Structure 1
Amino acid sequence: MCLILFAYNTDPHYRLVVAANRDEFYQRPTRRLCFWPEAPDLLAGQDLQLGGTWLGITRQGRFAAVTNFRQGRRQPSVGLLSRGQLTLDFLLGEQQPLNYLQQADPDAYDGFNLLLADQQGLYYGSNRNDQSPKELEPGVYGLSNASLDTPWPKVREAREELGNLIEQGELSVDNLLKLLQHNQKPADDQLPDTGVGLEWERLLSPRFIRSEDYGTRSSLVLLQRYDGHTEVVEQSYLPEWQKPQGHCFSTT
């Protein structure tokens, strides 16, 4: 997951709004968003290579999403745990989000940003900055592959657009998917320098990424009302653009 836009307790109708793109190598095997047969209360996609998930929610209102933290070109990690297991373990467990973040071993994983929520609050933590895990205040946020609200062009501009949709009363699945499918690249002088080289900075700079072997695999929209009614829609793009798949349920 490489772009997560979210609004918390800022809209009169929705407690939590999430619009997120998952970027990944096309060849990596994936199970599309569904309620898992082996965990019927869990709605999530699944990384079939390592077994975890990048984003999910349960019927009990537990929510989790993870992005990696870009730190230049690195050799494949040996002996570290999958970041997708961080989200999965939280979703299948009962631990309070802040405690979970505080107890996660920062040295057991490559760089990550982790969003966790239950029916009491929304929380953020990372093992690649000097911030302690924290509860988030009501607001509109953006997260990519650096710290929360790092002003990369795609994060800054998309966060502003999400705020405008809320202010104008135009939140909808279609409008949020359209926001995520924006594929314009910023000028080179606006690009961050994360150590991957200019060619990759350009490739990774739009909200919606396309290349020969890597890009945006799916877009997800989550709209959760204050009464717990939740709508989740995923638009998958591989092997070709597929009809959006949606799920509705109420959290307890």
Structure 2
Amino acid sequence: MCIVLLTTAHPSYALIVVDNRDEFILRPTSRPHWWTSVPEKHTDLRETQEVLSSRDLQRAEQGTWLGVTKDGNIAVLTNYRETNTNDSAHPVHGTRSRGGMVTAWLGANPHEKVSDFVSRMLGGGVGNVGGFSLICGKLRPKRHGDSGQKALEPLAIISNRNDSVDKVPWICEERGQVYGLSNTCYGDPNTWPKVEIGERLLSEAVKKAVDQNLDEEGLMDELFKILDTDTLPQQPDMAFEDCIATLKHSIFIPPIGDEHHKSAMERARARGKIEQFDEATEELRKEERPDETSMGFETGMYGTQRQTVILVDWEGNVTFRERALWNKHGHPIARPEGDMTFRFKIDGWEDGRGSML
């Protein structure tokens, strides 16, 4: 039950993105790093993308849930919570990775317009994928109207619950706004409580940062406080499936699971004394996932695994910070010992290429 919150309300930043990845804590996942992606059907090295992201090591595609490129492509994904296992048009687990939808944009030809990518994906590029929403776009400034007010090129929200290009939402073009998305469709009239809470807290954090003239580290602290907001209604001995239904109420998800989830965590921690994590993970897979056709990874406890904050200022400077809350053996990491921070300037931010739509 991941959540992503975005705002254009801070005067010093073109865009702020905060994100919680909620997942099975033992799911093999890399730390953020730079890697090179070559667009499909292209061999010209000038068309490669330098991508900054963590990567999901469970699926062959090694996709991700969030990333940004040196050229300014940005993408963030949330799953759509499927509940009807008999709906063949919307599988719970598709044969293709949702994370591959993120890398499809992060690794796209850097000259491809966002609108063309949206059309290409909705024209058949999202088939055989479990339900998802993808926020994607090119980080570029634009002149907004006759006032000359600074603004960003808008970001699109693609969903395989919507095959109509003209119904795709576009966000983040207007200043002073806050947006939230979790595991339902964007614009769902039944807004999830965690999204309402997140949008309110993000507005308050930006106001505090401006009023108190907080520096970047002070702002970061306020944003990570939002991602740590735990309002999950729990009852003793609540079954895992019953817990899942309550996750829409909390931004942060503490570790939840039944006895077999807890036992798997304890075994992983015991094996943590052995540094060969891949070997330990394979043993867990054999014990917990005897059916190799399963497309899920449901070993160990479930909860908020990673937290990310992205700041983009008006000079095109990006600060990307990911906070790991658990190590690869399932041991908790004290905040902020699991932080990794990257800073870079977006190529082409000031080159005057105009609209990326």
In 2, distance between residues paired with 1:74 and 1:28?
Answer: 23
Unaligned runs of 5+ in 1: 189-195
The match for 2:194 is 154
The match for 2:149 is none
Task: Calculate the TM-score normalised by the size of structure 1.
Answer: 0.87
- Secondary structure (helix, strand or coil) at the match of 2:103 reads helix
Q: Among 328, 336, 340, which residue is 1:245 paired with?
A: 340
The match for 1:199 is 243
> Amino acid of the residue matched to residue 101 of structure 1?
V
Superposed counterparts of 1:84-103, under 5 Å: 84-94=99-109, 95-103=112-120
The match for 1:123 is 156
**Superposed CA RMSD:** 2.6
Q: Among 200, 223, 228, which residue is 1:176 paired with?
A: 223
The match for 2:22 is 23
C-alpha contact (below 8 Å) 2:3/2:195 kept by paired residues: yes
> Amino acid of the residue matched to residue 166 of structure 1?
V
CA displacement at 1:148 relative to structure 2: 1.9
Superposed counterparts of 1:1-252, under 5 Å: 2-8=2-8, 10-36=9-35, 41-50=50-59, 51-72=62-83, 74=85, 80-94=95-109, 95-104=112-121, 105=124, 106-118=126-138, 119=140, 120-129=153-162, 132-136=167-171, 137-138=173-174, 139-150=177-188, 151-168=191-208, 169=210, 172-185=219-232, 198-203=242-247, 205-210=249-254, 211-212=256-257, 213-239=301-327, 240-241=332-333, 242-252=337-347
In 2, distance between residues paired with 1:23 and 1:185?
Answer: 13
In 2, distance between residues paired with 1:187 and 1:149?
Answer: 28
Unaligned runs of 5+ in 2: 38-47, 141-152, 258-300, 348-357
C-alpha contact (below 8 Å) 2:33/2:54 kept by paired residues: yes
Rg: which structure is higher?
2
In 2, distance between residues paired with 1:67 and 1:53?
Answer: 11
CA displacement at 1:121 relative to structure 2: 2.9
In 1, distance between residues paired with 2:313 and 2:326?
Answer: 30
Larger % of helix: which? 2
Larger % of strand: which? 1
Amino-acid identity (%)? 31
C-alpha contact (below 8 Å) 1:153/1:186 kept by paired residues: no
CA displacement at 1:37 relative to structure 2: 6.5
Q: 4+ runs of 1 displaced by more than 4 Å?
A: 37-40, 75-79
CA 1:203 to 1:234, structure 2 compared with 1: closer, same or farther past 3 Å? same
> Amino acid of the residue matched to residue 66 of structure 1?
L
C-alpha contact (below 8 Å) 1:20/1:180 kept by paired residues: yes
Task: Calculate the TM-score normalised by the size of structure 2.
Answer: 0.63
CA displacement at 1:198 relative to structure 2: 4.1
C-alpha contact (below 8 Å) 1:123/1:134 kept by paired residues: yes
C-alpha contact (below 8 Å) 1:141/1:149 kept by paired residues: no
Corresponding residue pairs, total: 244
